[in-house]
Amino acid sequence: MKSNLQHSFSIGIGKNILDLWVIGGTLAITAITTSQSSLGQMIADREKGQLGDLIMTGIETWKLQFSYLTSAFVISWLMQIGMLILMAGYFALSDGMQITWASIPAVMLICALSSLTWTSFNLLCLAFVRRVETFGRLSSIIAAAAGFFAGVYVPISSVPDSAQWLMKLTPAPYDSALFRQILMGNAINNKFAGKLNAYQSTFKTKMGVNIRLQHTLNINETILIMLGFTILFGLVSLLVARRTQKSFITRV
């Protein structure tokens, strides 16, 4: 994949930039899949009737949701940091890739935002799932789709406009864009210095480093969109949980 991308640009894109691009997308996928896997305990509790037992004790629905969210958030955040370390080490050894270490604190903060967004998303997706078997099937589907929506398998510009808009209706491209903007910033500025500066904006949009809606989003706007998704998913999942708690009690 990296070889094809390198040859698709006449100016020649180095391995360092593409390695960082891959890392950015992979971190987004890690947030999606690990937060979902971490919520498997919630489905197991639901299937065994333990969730209904907890509700019957009088514990509030939002407290239950918050406990599952917190656990999944922490696990997802730590897994992203672990993935960053592993991939940075691998690409440093294989390609001589260099990361601007000053960007690491910002990357860790985006990891936290990413974990929170996708944990809220997965809480909503799993709201009606009551069997571990169903959870496994749904997890496989979401994991397979994650790479496409995050723009990891192919750059966002390589898919039809209709598919691009479908991708932009999810947090995935914005998530990977945040990681890529931070990780790739210095490498892109160095590559597109001088006469090549005019091509920088086109490259960023084509590779999903920046996302374009009515205009090209800056990093602050992208963060606000991620926060908006988080709030939306969190509120809807809480409302759904309140509506379904009676059914959990009935099954006990």
**pLDDT given at position 50:** 65
Taking the CA atoms of 217, 70, 135 and 36 in sequence, report the sign of the dihedral they define: positive
Q: Do the Cβ atoms of 40 and 135 come closer than 8 Å?
A: yes
Tell me: pLDDT of 25 over 80.
yes
**pLDDT given at position 214:** 87
Query: At which residue do the structure tokens 């963060």 appear?
Result: 223
**pLDDT given at position 177:** 96
**6 within a domain of the structure (yes/no):** no
Rounded mean pLDDT, 27-35: 96
Tell me: pLDDT of 31 over 60.
yes
Per residue in 102-126, pLDDT tens? 899 999 999 999 999 999 999 999 8
**pLDDT given at position 244:** 66
Those residues whose C-beta lies under 8 Å from the C-beta of residue 187, and which sit 6 or more positions away, are 14, 16, 17, 20
Q: What would the two tokens of residue 70 be?
A: 């917190």
**106 within a domain of the structure (yes/no):** yes
Please count the structural domains in the chain: 1
**pLDDT given at position 203:** 87
Taking the CA atoms of 203, 206, 208 and 213 in sequence, report the sign of the dihedral they define: positive
Query: At which residue do the structure tokens 């922490």 appear?
Result: 74
Q: Estimate to the nearest angstrom the gap between the alpha carbon of 195 and the chain centroid.
A: 34
**3 within a domain of the structure (yes/no):** no
Inter-CA distances, 133 with 61, 130, 209, Å:
24, 9, 37
Those residues whose C-beta lies under 8 Å from the C-beta of residue 101, and which sit 6 or more positions away, are none
| Residue closest to 40 by CA, chosen among 66, 88, 72 | 72
Rounded mean pLDDT, 207-235: 94
**pLDDT given at position 53:** 62
CA distance 232 to 252: 30
Q: Estimate to the nearest angstrom the gap between the alpha carbon of 164 and the chain centroid.
A: 16
Beta bridge partners of 212: 216
Q: How confident is the model at residue 250 (pLDDT cuts 50, 70, 90)?
A: very low
Enclosing domain of residue 101: 14-251
* Most trustworthy range by pLDDT among 55-64, 107-116, 200-209, 238-247: 107-116
**228 within a domain of the structure (yes/no):** yes
**pLDDT given at position 200:** 85
The residue type of 160 is P
Q: Estimate to the nearest angstrom the gap between the alpha carbon of 48 and the chain centroid.
A: 30
Q: How confident is the model at residue 15 (pLDDT cuts 50, 70, 90)?
A: confident
**9 within a domain of the structure (yes/no):** no
**pLDDT given at position 33:** 95
Rounded mean pLDDT, 151-174: 92
In degrees and rounded to multiples of 5, residue 190 shows phi and psi of -70, -40
Those residues whose C-beta lies under 8 Å from the C-beta of residue 12, and which sit 6 or more positions away, are 6
Angle separating helix axes 40-48 and 61-95, nearest 10 degrees: 140
- Provide the mean pLDDT of the chain: 86
Rounded mean pLDDT, 186-190: 87
**243 within a domain of the structure (yes/no):** yes
Query: At which residue do the structure tokens 């990977």 appear?
Result: 176
Tell me: pLDDT of 161 over 80.
yes
**50 within a domain of the structure (yes/no):** yes
Q: What is the DSSP letter of 39?
A: T
Q: Do the Cβ atoms of 27 and 80 come closer than 8 Å?
A: yes
**76 within a domain of the structure (yes/no):** yes
